[in-house]
Amino acid sequence: MLGYPLHPGERFPTSQEEVFTSEGLGWRSKKANGAIGIGVWKEILKESDWCWDNMVFRAGKGTKIRFWTDVWRTDTTLSHCFPHLFVMVVRRNSTVEEMWDQNSGQGGWNLNFLRDFNDWELDMVGDLLHVLRGHKHSLEEDSVLWRRGRKG
């Protein structure tokens, strides 16, 4: 297609499913390994972790952002900010949209945990709610931003 020679055992991906992974909710391409990925693109994909480490998500609808494991409210994932709470979460791979309840007035967070909290855990829950307090759910699509700004 592009005129690049294929190395022995390599081939062009034949479907979108071979290139993109649902793990990244459509944001990330699959890792370059085995017969998938050729030439320059294979090398570029090897550096993609560095690139994603310098990105931050802006939640709109919240359909493509993982609530606990994507960077979207703080400088790191909520699972790293609140590891004790993350261990108790019912669904660790939920999206922001799945955690947002539109049916409660202006909307609110529907955080499901495996058990009730002990008294000493309530401050952690309060801290999490404080981090989430400024979120404004919208009808815009989610977006990805370069963390280092224009000059980074």
Alpha-carbon distance of 81 to 10, in angstroms, equals: 41
% residues pLDDT > 90 (the chain): 45
Provide DSSP, 55-113: EEEE-SS-SSSBTTTS-SSSSS-HHHHSHHHHHTBS-TT-BHHHHEETTSTT-EE---B
Global pTM reads 0.69
Q: Per-residue pLDDT averaged across 110-129, rounded?
A: 96
24 vs 133: which has the higher pLDDT: 133
CA distance 20 to 99: 24
Q: What is the mean pLDDT of residues 123-141?
A: 93
Mean residue pLDDT of the chain comes to 79
Q: Is the pLDDT of residue 86 over 90?
A: yes
Residue 15, both tokens: 């479907």
Q: Which long-range contacts (C-beta less than 8 Å, at least 24 apart) are formed by 31-35?
A: 35/9, 35/10, 35/11
With 80 as the cut, is the pLDDT of residue 104 above it? Answer: no
Average pLDDT over residues 109-124: 96
Res. 129: pLDDT tops 90: yes
pLDDT for res 149 = 66
